[in-house]
Amino acid sequence: MCRVNRAFTGFIIIASLIMAFGLPAVAAEYPTKPISYIIPFPAGGSTDITSRALANAAKKFLGQPIICENKPGGGGAVGPSLVVPKPPDGYTIGTITPSVPNAYHMGKLNFHPLDDVTYIMRWCGNLYGIVVRADSPWKTIQEMLLYSKQNPQKVVYWSPGVGSATHLAAEELAMTAGIQWTHMPTKGVAEDNVALLSGYVDFISDAAGWVPLVDSGKFRLLATWGNERSAHYPQVPTVKETGYNVVTLGPMGVFGPKGLPAPIVDKLHQAFKKAMDDPEFIDTMKKLDMPMLYLGPEDYERFVRQDFENIGKLVHKLGLQKK
């Protein structure tokens, strides 16, 4: 028995030494192989385009390829659910959006957005908008809201999934304005655009993947969801300007599994922070009119905790909370 105890004690000491001295050594060498980067929306949308541009710039400072993979679904919640179970070694990271706490409060998530995640860096917000076809009878957001009030549930819209930021924003606007819409969830902006082009829906509430179609004259942007008007579309009002105080910015960030060692977090943070100054990345952000909203690891986690509470209140207000 004594021999067993001594052997067990020796094991504990060795394990402690590995933890004390092994991690810094591993972190100093990190990364030694390609990094997998999960994007939680389909190719072609603003989340995909800007995530790829950021990852492409960051790899220059990490010395290893960053391989981007699209894992859409669940309004942006499926992708992160594939990152969380991975080993906390820095080789599987991804983009995370407010869709994750939204899904948690709605009972549609198998992990906790605060307890099971390492937040690395917040890098931007989204240009969200309400978009119709160019031949729509509605020239303004006020005209659409008036028609919606007179025709309950007749107006059909698509968003990138139940629980996505633009779904909750649209439902909050409908509730505040006393109207009823019919919601059709999709996997992302590519499906949204096709549905609107085909006339299958009346409007879409989504991120800036519609910009090329608005600029080409196929779509009309009725309103944006931000606090201020878009620099790219200064003539288009915010939803807030219509008298309904509904705002969503959709901040996005880089994250990894829980327990990511601090030295690895720091390496990733520094690389992605430098990537934000890359000319090609800046140009991509400008084209999609997406604001830079940088926060480092500690401030980002603090923001997420506060936002988590606010989202919980909104989900409860809309009656979408888990039963």
Bridge partners of 124, per DSSP, are 252, 292
Q: Which CATH superfamily hosts domain 35-126+250-317?
A: Bordetella uptake gene, domain 1 (3.40.190.150)
Question: Do 158 and 198 form a contact (C-beta atoms < 8 A)?
Answer: no
Q: Which two tokens stand for residue 105?
A: 């409060």
The per-residue pLDDT for 7 is 45
| φ/ψ bin of 64: left (φ > 0), alpha (ψ from -120 to 50), beta (otherwise) | beta
The per-residue pLDDT for 160 is 84
Q: What stretch(es) of the chain map to CATH 3.40.190.150?
A: 35-126+250-317
Task: Report the side by side order of strands in the sheet with 292-295.
Answer: 66-70, 35-39, 92-96, 252-257, 117-124, 292-295
CA distance 51 to 39: 7
Query: Smallest Cα–Cα separation from 97: which of 29, 45, 35?
Result: 45
What is the DSSP track for 18-79?
A: IIIIIHHHHHHH--SS-EEEEESS-TTSHHHHHHHHHHHHHHHHHTS-EEEEE---GGGTHH
The per-residue pLDDT for 222 is 98
One-letter-per-residue 3-state SS of 274-307? HHCCCHHHHHHHHHCCCCEEEECHHHHHHHHHHH
Q: What stretch(es) of the chain map to CATH 3.40.190.10?
A: 129-242
Q: Which two tokens stand for residue 101?
A: 């706490």
CATH of domain 129-242: 3.40.190.10
Write out residues in the chain with pLDDT < 50, as ranges: 1-12, 14-15, 17-18, 20
